[in-house]
A and B are shown apart, each in its own frame.
Chain A
């Protein structure tokens, strides 16, 4: 690599070669030339993150859903509510996403076996599912899930639980008898870097948009939805007032790629493929650190870690407007009755 670096230094090789070919052939050199002028290939400053747009109620067949675009990365989160009998220890608490994995085909590729064992452990504790369908990136092939998907599912689930954002007591219907179970599925529609940040924002937005359907209990003990506008209601509506769940101290995350003492906030897929080390800082609404994740890669000094945390802090300030505003704004067509 070093030899070819000198060649580009003198501008011999890069001069005539077309930029696109150069970008493909020598990606690291291409990036480093940009970083020397502290600018990035997509014309952002090193500490600048991509714009975020949030649209609520993207899926009409779900109780709560949100489509989030972080630059080009697009995430679609959807929550479906189902009724379950609460566990013995926590009679008055619902839970999020008890995900039962049943694998249709018996002979599984070795990787899927690990995923099967891993998911059995998560089976009984609340687990959230992060899907990477084959449409989102050239790396993913149908039939074999991407390696990074279970990792993101696990971290997403830990943070949603540990940040105390949700008060599971609000998911209870009749204490000890029936409570809500929220299946949270996050689909990555376009994978262009910092998937975890976009996934977390979309999950949070979906929960703010969540609307619990009006239900009442039938005589056989089974809960059923009431049409909402039906005149005669045989059975009294159980949860007339508990329709929206309160979302407190919203967690927010920022991923930074670390490359030789410069920090790239919110890397794109191309940058992520070049730079191995990256660090994710998760803060909650009162700027306390919820979690810091750094999976191996090059060693970094404490100073860099502090810089990342401060970067995350001011990024959260800028975005507080978006996260709280959309919490109030209920999208118009999400209120039609969901059967």
Chain B
């Protein structure tokens, strides 16, 4: 059997690249200049995508949640405090072990389905401030996330879905953590960007927020921002997080009412 068959596979979408780039260029220009240009999917600048969240897709886990924001689909399962890996040294506070991985078909170009180290570390930092680690000493809580489809602003959705899964697993937390990201185009700020908008953003800002305690557990920012723009971008994110947190609380209420 000749080996030539295997190496030359390519996804046939190559030709559209040229046209797609002009369309993207034009999208970016519009978003940067005029304030009221509707986004590709018709949302205004300060509208999040419809959030569908649900607890308990995986019964094998002690707590799990599924989140779907437009095209971004994420499943998170939490395995309750269990003994940590042999190599870990003794620690009198609990430990959080986060792992984020993508499926091979998550991105339009076929990915490898490998773990995403950067997002795992960011997820760990976002949740660390909210989980009461001292309530499960010497043990580890495993938070595993799988991105079924990447449709833009994946990390914030993973963080919100993970905090819902932790609540579903009954892990003691100071407050639910919700997270939202914004992209900046010239002087306009758009919330909850899709992957097309993200590919052409001038800068982005992501906030992970605990609404009840009014504390930010994770804040990252790239691109060029002036002082004023940062303040109103963070305010925008914080009240979006508060609204998202109410949705999470309703989900938990129906889940518990369902359980009885």
Contact = CB atoms under 8 A, between A and B. Distances in A.
Q: Is there direct touching of A and B in the complex, by C-beta distance under 8 Å? A: yes
Interface in A47-105: 58-62, 65, 72, 74, 76, 78, 80-89, 95, 98, 100, 102, 104
Interface string B5-38: 1111111111110001000000000000000000
**What is the interface residue range for chain A against chain B?**
35 or more
A292 B112 CA distance: 33
A339 interface: yes
B249 interface: no
Interface stretch (A108-116, A127-135, A149-157): A127-135
A84 B9 contact: yes
Q: Is the interface of B mostly helix, strand, loop or mixed?
A: mixed
Contacts of B6: 84, 98, 100, 123-124
Given A61-B149, A189-B57, A84 B115 contact: no
Given A100-B7, A131-B113, 9 more contacts: A59-B149, A61-B71, A72-B60, A80-B11, A82-B11, A124-B5, A131-B104, A133-B103, A190-B60
B105 A82 contact: no
B146 A85 contact: no
Interface of A: 58-62, 65, 72, 74, 76, 78, 80-89, 95, 98, 100, 102, 104, 123-125, 129, 131, 133-138, 142-143, 181, 183, 185, 187, 189-192, 213, 215, 218, 222-225, 227, 269, 339
Q: Is the interface of A mostly helix, strand, loop or mixed?
A: loop
A135 B110 contact: no
Given A61-B105, A86-B5, A98-B5, A189 B58 contact: yes
A78 B113 CA distance: 13
Interface string B96-131: 000101011111101011110000000000000000
B156 to A, nearest CB: 19
Q: Which 3 residue pairs spanning A and B have beta carbons closest together?
A: A224-B15, A87-B5, A134-B144
A59 B103 CA distance: 11
B255 to A, nearest CB: 16
Contacts of A83: 9-12
A215 B12 CA distance: 8
A84 B5 contact: yes
Contacts of B115: 142-143
A60 B107 CA distance: 10
B59 to A, nearest CB: 5
B2 interface: yes
